[in-house]
Amino acid sequence: MPRWLTPNLLWIITPLVMVVSLMAGISSASAEQALDGESSGLRPRSVAFSGEVTQVMLQARSVVVQTKRGRVVTVTLKASTQIKASAQHIRPADIKVGDHVLIVGRPRGTQALDASTLTILRKAGQGARASPNPKG
């Protein structure tokens, strides 16, 4: 062990370096996303985010979702997409503008995403957990 770098000091420095760098990375990525949307940061792997539905396009089987950071993402609902509310499957028609949703999927292009799962966390105008449509 280096003389000046005592074990006690290292126990403080190591987590400090990790936390500061982690926060710097998060800040940097968040700023990047805020500047030019999420295009530059998206990876081909799955992503997940929550946001509010601002538009529902049933013909195109897609919904437009605005995240908390203000990003606008067009989410495509494929046939294999799991659409759920309170652990029950629902239809795309049950998604309404204003619903708060959690989306998991793979990015396609700059501001689009193929959803593998869309979960309604809160229905529009509700503070509590979403309840599924009995017709769904």
Partner 1 sequence: MQPEPLDDLDRLYARLQWADPKPNLTDRVLARIRRAQRIQHISTLATLVTLLALGLFAYALGRGLTFSGTLDFLEALVSNLDLLTDEADDFLSALVDALPLLEIAAVLGGAACVWLASHALPRLLTRQQGKAG
Site residues (vs partner 1, CB under 8 A):
1-5, 7, 10, 13-14, 17-30, 33, 38, 41-43, 45-50, 67-68, 82, 84, 86-87, 102, 104, 116-117, 119, 121-122, 129
Nearer of residues 45 and 59 to partner 1, judged by Cβ: 45
> Are the beta carbons of 56 and 95 closer than 8 angstroms?
yes
Nearer of residues 16 and 60 to partner 1, judged by Cβ: 16
Q: How far is the CB of 77 from partner 1 (least distance, A)?
A: 16
Q: Considering only CA atoms, which of 50, 36, 31 is closest in space to residue 100?
A: 50
Bridging pattern class, strands 112-122 and 72-85: parallel
Q: Considering only CA atoms, which of 95, 113, 96 is closest in space to residue 104?
A: 113
Q: How far is the CB of 59 from partner 1 (least distance, A)?
A: 27
Query: Rounded to an integer, what distance in angstroms lies between the CA atom of residue 105 and that of residue 123?
Result: 21
| 51 C-beta neighbours (distance < 10 Å), count | 22
Nearer of residues 29 and 58 to partner 1, judged by Cβ: 29
Nearer of residues 18 and 58 to partner 1, judged by Cβ: 18
Q: How far is the CB of 57 from partner 1 (least distance, A)?
A: 22
Query: Rounded to an integer, what distance in angstroms lies between the CA atom of residue 16 and that of residue 8?
Result: 13
